[in-house]
Amino acid sequence: MDTLLTAEIAANAPRYRRKSSTFIDGIHDVTADQDMAPAQLYSTMSGRLFHSGRIAIVMVGPPARGKTHICVSMARYLQWLGVKTRIFHLGDYRRATIGPEGTVPEDYFFPNASPSSIILRQKILKKCREDIYAWLNHENGQVAIYDAVNPTASGRRSLAKEFANHDVQTLFIESYVDDERILRENARNVKISSPDFAGMDPDKAAELYLKRIEMRIPMFETMNEKELNYIKMINAGAKFFYNNVSFNYLSHRIVFYLTNLHIKSRTTFFARAGTTAEGEDSYKSDGPLCEEGRAYAEKMAETLFKHREQEHAEKVEKGDHAPLRPLSVWTSTRLRTVQTADYIKDKGFTVRQRSQMSQINPGACEKMPERLIRQLYPDEVEKHELDPYHHRYPRAESYHDLAVRLEPIILELEREQNDLLIIAHESVLRVLYAYLMHCSTMDIPFLKFPRDEIIEIIPAAYQNEAKRIHIPGLDPRVLVSSPGFFNGTPSAASLSSMLATGTPTGNLSGHVTPNVDGLSSPPDTSVERPPEKVINTAKDMVADKVDDED
């Protein structure tokens, strides 16, 4: 069905996400499974939400208007909500059709193009549209995002008509920019990594690039079609015009999301909360930090400060003299996370408590040894192992419940313009991380965030990237991994040993007491960690995907 696209992506992406990796943003993956999404509210037989039928979101706008960024962010949010969404970049199809050696004819975007260019154009459009229909008709897709220039009103009208004939609603999203500064910034950020502009002054290159677009796409009509559903996003969200011919849940949702989206680059850091004294580490007791926990809080903060200063110094060295971005800190209302931020607060940073960020509720099984859970709730254990993301132990929250509860946080996360440090329980970090890096629901309960690392997530137009920052010199007692069973599932390693022997092994209870042989639970070496240093920065990775006129 989508062999062309899949093959094309595999051939073109320098580092196509390995299936096993959760540290490369999976937003462009084609999902193979029928899992429910992280924050999906309902499931239905068709796999589509009942609110709306099938929808084509059609992007409108010349290059350098941030269309790719909007597409990707929107897909991230919609998939998170459980709307089966896929992006179809017309540029991918053009490249696949023309081949790596071929060139796009000069008059390709001209209204009076030569017959051969028109035929080529139609051939490419046909392939892309066939894939869109295949996605919507045969793969239970609900939303197809069609990323192309779509420059003319007549073209858009006939597109909407064609989709309507296939029983697909169309929503156009135009990114309209007349602010020169934004245009130049966009052009500088992604486009000029192309070899065409190598060695050129960035401002000059940006200007040349924008001129080139104007020449190649001489005719562009901004949207003004009263009979079409469209959102016009003006100057990267300064203003929205929304023409809502047919009332639709998803389009409102999208507007809400887009009003919080911005295109400035900023970093999100994740850190764990410190540890509490033994016996006070349960969900219900909500105990304060112990001494090692307080020491951890201080070391974590100092590591982060140092890291930020280093990064900033490196930038200055490279000629980027932007000041160090301010840092905001969010914690949950749980005592441990609040106290972990105290050290940072004392340094004058703003700390906000968010009740939605409380850890996952472990329910009735908290602190129960696994053996007992298996005895008391054999059916539940079986269900849990089949679907650790959605299954909920008696009186507990599932990861899915947690994700739904975190949705307002996701939107504020998009809006935040300062760098952001989130101090939270591992379960909350898993879910937020999964949003930013688009992990499969099957992976989320198993993600590991050891205390000796701060995770840094750097956003980019095409995909986000994750890095880890080591916190040196920590007391080994704070490093024991977040205790097991109620948090999600037994770790993958213990599961496989369980399968091998038929009986549970190791210490999977809520207690973090040492094992019989005197060792505390060893750090699980089988878990994947993000790369220390990302060699391919996002910009390089996608240079070939965004440097031309999609």
Q: Enumerate binding residues for other proteins (CB under 8 A).
A: 41-42, 50, 237-245, 247, 249, 252, 255-256, 259-260, 262, 282-286, 326, 350, 352, 355-356, 361, 392, 394-395, 397-398, 400-401, 404-405, 407-408, 411-412, 415-418
Contacts of 372 (CB under 8 A, 6+ apart): none
Determine which helix (DSSP H) or strand (DSSP E) holds 143, and give its type and residue range.
strand 143-147
The gap between the terminal CA atoms of the chain, to the nearest Å, is 23
Give the residue with the Cβ less far from other proteins, 128 or 289: 289
Rounded to whole angstroms, how far apart are CA atoms 423 and 349? 14
Rounded to whole angstroms, how far apart are CA atoms 452 and 475? 10
Minimum distance from CB of 78 to other proteins (Å)? Answer: 16
Minimum distance from CB of 378 to other proteins (Å)? Answer: 18
Contact at 8 Å (CB) between 265 and 311? no
Give the residue with the Cβ less far from other proteins, 16 or 349: 349
Strands 327-331 and 350-353, bridge-based pairing:
parallel
Rounded to whole angstroms, how far apart are CA atoms 149 and 160? 15
Q: How far is CA 417 from CA 80, 113, 361, 464, in A?
A: 22, 44, 30, 16
Contact at 8 Å (CB) between 57 and 144? yes
In degrees, to the nearest 5, what angle opens at C-alpha 27 toward C-alphas 24 and 29? 90
Residue 123 CB neighbours (<10 A): 13
Place of tokens 């993958």: 492
Give the residue with the Cβ less far from other proteins, 30 or 41: 41
Minimum distance from CB of 461 to other proteins (Å)? Answer: 19
Give the residue with the Cβ less far from other proteins, 16 or 242: 242
Q: Let me know if 33 is a catalytic residue.
A: no
Minimum distance from CB of 156 to other proteins (Å)? Answer: 17
Rounded to whole angstroms, how far apart are CA atoms 13 and 480? 38
Give the residue with the Cβ less far from other proteins, 211 or 249: 249
| Closest C-alpha among 131, 38, 126, 140 to residue 85 | 140
Which residue of the set 147, 419, 443, 550 is catalytic?
147
Give the residue with the Cβ less far from other proteins, 135 or 172: 172
Contact at 8 Å (CB) between 27 and 463? yes
In degrees, to the nearest 5, what angle opens at C-alpha 142 toward C-alphas 140 and 146? 115
For residue 170 the two structure tokens come to: 């169309």
Give the residue with the Cβ less far from other proteins, 6 or 244: 244
Rounded to whole angstroms, how far apart are CA atoms 369 and 320? 54
Among left, alpha and beta (phi > 0; psi -120 to 50; other), residue 486 is alpha
User: Looking at the chain, how many residues does it have?
Assistant: 550
Rounded to whole angstroms, the maximal C-alpha distance in the chain is: 80
Minimum distance from CB of 401 to other proteins (Å)? Answer: 4
| Closest C-alpha among 154, 144, 153 to residue 85 | 144
Minimum distance from CB of 499 to other proteins (Å)? Answer: 30
Minimum distance from CB of 264 to other proteins (Å)? Answer: 9
477 secondary structure, DSSP code: G
| Closest C-alpha among 250, 249, 245 to residue 225 | 245
Minimum distance from CB of 130 to other proteins (Å)? Answer: 34
Rounded to whole angstroms, how far apart are CA atoms 174 and 208? 24
Give the residue with the Cβ less far from other proteins, 236 or 542: 236
Rounded to whole angstroms, how far apart are CA atoms 347 and 473? 21
Residue 454's DSSP bridge partners are: 469
Residue 116 CB neighbours (<10 A): 10
Q: What is the CA radius of gyration of the chain?
A: 25
Give the residue with the Cβ less far from other proteins, 256 or 473: 256
Return phi, psi of residue 89, to 5°.
-85, 120
Give the residue with the Cβ less far from other proteins, 242 or 305: 242
Place of tokens 């939303």: 143
Minimum distance from CB of 317 to other proteins (Å)? Answer: 26
Minimum distance from CB of 295 to other proteins (Å)? Answer: 26
Return the active site residues: 147
